[in-house]
A and B are shown apart, each in its own frame.
Chain A
Amino acid sequence: MKNPVTVASGTFGYGEEFDRYFDVSLLGAVTTKSISLKPRAGNKPPRLVETPAGLLNAIGLQNVGIDRFLSQKAPYLRTRNATIIANIYGHSPEEYAELARRLEAEGAADAIEANLSCPNVHDARTAKGAVLVSQSCEAITVYTQAIRDATRLPLYIKLTPNVMNIQEPALAAEAAGADGVCLINTLLGMAINPETRKPRLANIVGGLSGPAIRPVAVKMVWDAARVLRIPIIGTGGISGAASAIEFLLAGATAVSVGSMSFRRPDTALRVVEGIAEYLKRHQIADVNQLIGAMQA
């Protein structure tokens, strides 16, 4: 990556949606919406609720599927010279492995990010009754190894924060051969309309993102960084360079801008520029000097 800034899966479409606002090749990478083997229609609406300094979503991984990703979306990103982190979602370790294999074979990704943590789908085959794959260390091991065996591309595992201790799933991913982890996916949440007594999301529960979750995400990055040897992509409520730098100081090697791209599509580019300005102002030669550099 030419800089440590990407975008969080699901908040930037396939890159083309926002590339009319700025040159997406200026980002360290574009991380795509989760791609599955077959197209998915996603959940019924309503799918979004705004909450204090954030939003709840239950999109349900609506996506075009791998065939259209390979024939349309990836080639477009390539014409824009973007570095591609392809986020993948499957129903089994074999499906994840097949997605990774096909992406590598077609040259459609520079890295893989496996979404083992979407809170809004009900069909994940999980171990020991866990709701999400990444709530079970055994499942993380099985899934990560399957993808690892299928590809030589850099492999990142995106983990859920909805666990007792983030260090355990992070260590499981590392031990199973991941090149890095992405922390954090959304926090489970819900909202109810008091007038109608109905849930505000058709899916009832959703994933909370936005600045509201940032302190939780920073803490989880800090927790994981103290035990991992592999890099962390930190994400959760980054709204500008200052909050991105928080994640680096907590121990992230790179960051991804999430929901804030909805508010301002060029936020990720502003983070790239803002980090450069910060380094200059603090006379720091290399951004890597910031990683884990919190002074407690």
Chain B
Amino acid sequence: MRYIQDCEIVAHDLVAPKHWRMRLRSEDIARAAQPGQFCMVEVVETLYPFLRRPMCFSEIHDDGFTLLYKVEGEGTQLLSQRVPGQTCSIQGPLGNGFPIAPELERHVIVSGGIGVAAFPALARALAETCGRPPEVILAARTRELLLCADLFRSLGCTVHLATDDGSAGEKAYAARMLERLGPGPGTLVYACGPMIMMSTTAAVAARAGASCLVSLEAQMACGDGACLGCVVESKVEHEGEKMVRVCVDGPVFDAALIDWEAHNTAYDL
């Protein structure tokens, strides 16, 4: 079931420079949402900015959900000015969430920067269904951008911190941290973050014989598979198509399906 609802903003807090956490009320959307799915957020009621912004469900509660976002442009800047008590139009849930596979022996979340938004709901679902909480590699540029560490710990996760500048945890990239944890064939790696981080993480997982799921982000107009704007190139044909849509074929993909080289070239990474 998909909804377009005006949801009440219950809380809206600055959690790090340019990073906001917004809790919204909607029992319908909360009931339907799965970890890894996303919604389209109307940042203003007027027609400029024109498009909604795709954001994954960071946490899913009984009576609503939480979004975690970074102010990147005009749209998110305007969204950040919304205050509790106001409503915000939300369309969702959309896309395919993370599959929950309790039969696998080891689950490792690899998070880079604001990519962490995809994982609190997943970590909770894994902790509840897999018998033991996932391990979490939490990486960011610098200490103050390491978000949700306490939340993961409260779920029982082992959290490995890494920063590019060494201001907290290891001075290392996320993929390198994964390598050190020694993933194997029984490991499922979940990655979300900058493209270059996901492609290197996917490569580490592949070398170790581990499976890897990635949650991709893309410019998107509709979120429903109609505009064909959010495609990425696939290595294999998916339902006869070489281009897969992040919105309805993803946003969660098997990393082996994605043509990382083509993607990095397209976006000049």
User: Interface-forming stretch among A37-45, A98-106, A182-190?
Assistant: A37-45
Q: A46-B219, A202-B266, A262-B226 are in contact. Are A21 and B51 (CB under 8 A)?
A: no
Most buried by A among B224, B232, B266: B224
Binds B, one of A47-55, A88-96, A222-230, A285-293: A47-55
| Contact assessment for B51 and A55 in the assembled complex, using a CB-CB cutoff below 8 Å | yes
Q: Are B51 and A265 in contact (CB under 8 A)?
A: no
Please determine whether B50 and A53 come into contact, CB atoms closer than 8 angstroms. Answer: yes
A211/B219 contact (C-beta < 8 A), A13-B226, A17-B224, A45-B231 known: no
In the complex the two chains form, what is the Cα distance from A239 to B45 in whole Å? 12
- Given known pairs A12-B226, A21-B4, A41-B243, the reply for A262 and B51 (CB within 8 Å) is yes
- State the CA gap A41–B232 with chains docked (Å): 11
> Is the CB–CB distance between A262 and B230 below 8 Å?
no
Number of A-B contacts (CB under 8 A): 108
Residues of chain A within 8 A of B4, CB atoms compared: 21, 264-266
Report whether over half of chain A's contact residues are helix, strand or loop; otherwise say mixed: loop
**Which residues from chain B contact A196 at a C-beta distance below 8 Å?**
268
A172-230 interface (Cβ within 8 A of B): 196, 198, 202, 210-211
Which residues of the other chain, A, contact B229 by a CB distance below 8 angstroms?
Answer: 47-48, 57, 59
Q: How far is the CA of A264 from the CA of B5 in the complex (A)?
A: 11
Asked if A198 and B227 make an inter-chain contact with CB atoms under 8 angstroms apart, the answer reads no
Chain A interface size band reads 35 or more
Whether B47 lies near A20 (C-beta < 8 A) is: no
The digit string for B229-265, where 1 denotes a CB below 8 A from any CB of A, is 1111100000011110000100000000000001100
Q: Given that A11-B227, A47-B231, A48-B219 are contacting pairs, would A20 and B2 also be in contact in the complex, using a CB cutoff of 8 Å?
A: yes
**With an 8 A cutoff between CB atoms, is B52 at the interface?**
yes
Contacts of A39 in B (CB 8 A): 240-241
Q: How far is the CB of B73 from chain A (nearest CB, A)?
A: 9
| A59: B residues at CB distance < 8 A | 227-229
Q: Are B221 and A262 in contact (CB under 8 A)?
A: yes
Q: Does B79 contact A (CB under 8 A)?
A: no
Q: How extensive is the interface on chain B, given as a class?
A: 35 or more
Task: Please state if B226 and A17 are interface contacts (CB–CB under 8 Å).
Answer: yes
Chain B, residue nearest A237 (CB): B47
Task: State whether A263 and B50 are in contact (beta carbons under 8 Å apart), knowing that A17-B224, A41-B243, A49-B219 are contacts in the complex.
Answer: yes
Contact string against A for B residues 34-67, beta-carbon threshold 8 Å, 1 for contact and 0 otherwise: 0000000010000111111000000000000000
B14 at the interface (CB under 8 A from A): no
Residue of A nearest to B221 (CB): A262
Residue in B50, B230, B242 whose beta carbon sits within 8 Å of that of A54 in the complex: B50
**B156 an interface residue at 8 Å Cβ cutoff?**
no
Segment 68-107 of B: residues with Cβ below 8 Å from A:
75, 91
Please, which residue of chain A has its CB at the minimum distance from the CB of B218? Answer: A45
Partner of A57, one of B227, B262, B267: B227
Cα A46 to Cα B266 in complex, Å, equals 7
The answer for the CA separation of A47 and B241 in the assembled complex, in Å, is 16
Q: Which residues of B contact A62 (CB under 8 A)?
A: 228, 231, 243
**Would you call B227 and A263 a contact (CB within 8 A)?**
no
A/B interface sample: 10 pairs, CB < 8 A:
A13-B226, A17-B225, A20-B2, A39-B240, A47-B231, A48-B220, A50-B50, A54-B50, A211-B48, A262-B52
A residues sitting closer than 8 Å to B (CB atoms) are 10-13, 17-18, 20-21, 33, 39, 41-42, 44-55, 57, 59, 62, 64, 68, 196, 198, 202, 210-211, 239, 259, 261-266
Binding site for A on B (CB under 8 A): 2, 4, 42, 47-52, 75, 91, 218-222, 224-233, 240-243, 248, 262-263, 266-268
